[in-house]
Amino acid sequence: MKLPDLFNGTLHFLITMTKKRVLWIFTAGAILLAVFFFWQSSDLHMPKPRGYFRIELPEKIYRSYQPQCPLSIEIPQYAKVEVFREHNSLDSCWFNIYFPKLNARLHCTYIPVGDNISNLLRDSYGFAAKHEMKASALKRTMVNDTAKHVYGIVYDIEGDAASQLQFFLTDSTDHFLRGSLYFFNSPNPDSVQPVLSFIREDVMHITRSIQWE
């Protein structure tokens, strides 16, 4: 083979290989680019887990409150009291502990015991059981302060119940206080749970601070 022919053949081979390499690089780049855009598009349309607004919980500071009935309790500074005077008598009274920033109310009712303790206890059990039908679990925390004559139960009602926290306190002879917590939004356990736990601390503080008059 003559030298010019060898040179021309080698040049043709190099040109052919260069074209194939460029074509391969271009094809590989196009495939990678297509995969990238497909991944980005899929990521944008993938369903995201539902999020909830962050709630800034206030500092725990309490103040004394004495309703128009023979007891006193400590309630949070960030709560307001709503009194229902039309329901009040010399002994019994109704009032709400309203949490405006937390979208919740704790409905409280005081009733003198007299000889009615059995009916009051049965009613409290019945109110909790009524909400239990839509709940996934019902937990009871006993209150037993013999020094202050305060006895009762705090009910944690888990699930989609309308009221997820209830309690009653009594000295078993003269005084009876019942409370039920309600939110003004759908009782979704995931969104309500942080606030529910926060208010539960306030309810437990009431059980420790209550004084019968």
Q: What is the pLDDT of residues 179-193, one digit of tens each?
A: 999 998 765 666 788
Q: What is the pLDDT of residues 39-60, one digit of tens each?
A: 565 544 455 555 445 678 999 9
Position 75 pLDDT exceeds 70? yes
How high is the pLDDT of residue 160? 76
Position 108, amino acid = C
Phi, psi of 163 (to 5 degrees): -120, 115
Portion of the chain with pLDDT greater than 90, in percent: 52
Question: Is the overall model pTM greater than 0.95, yes or no?
Answer: no
Question: Would you say 134 and 159 are in contact if contact means Cβ atoms under 8 Å apart?
Answer: yes
How high is the pLDDT of residue 10? 46
Q: What is the pLDDT of residues 197-207, one digit of tens each?
A: 999 999 999 99
For domain 62-212, give the CATH number. 3.40.1000
Residue boundaries of the structural domains of the chain: 1-48, 62-212
Position 95 pLDDT exceeds 50? yes
Q: How far apart are alpha carbons 173 and 69 in whole angstroms?
A: 15
Quick one: pLDDT band at residue 87, thresholds 50, 70, 90? low
Highest mean pLDDT among 5-19, 166-180, 181-195: 166-180
Question: Would you say 92 and 69 are in contact if contact means Cβ atoms under 8 Å apart?
Answer: yes
Exposure string (b/e) for 53-72, b if CB count within 10 Å is 16 or more?
eeeeeeeeeeeebebebbbe
Question: What is residue 193's three-state secondary structure?
Answer: helix
How high is the pLDDT of residue 59? 95
Q: What is the dihedral of CA 104, 59, 137, 210, to 10 degrees?
A: -80
SS (H, E, C) 194-212: HHHHHHHHHHHHHHHHCEE
Quick one: pLDDT band at residue 171, thresholds 50, 70, 90? very high
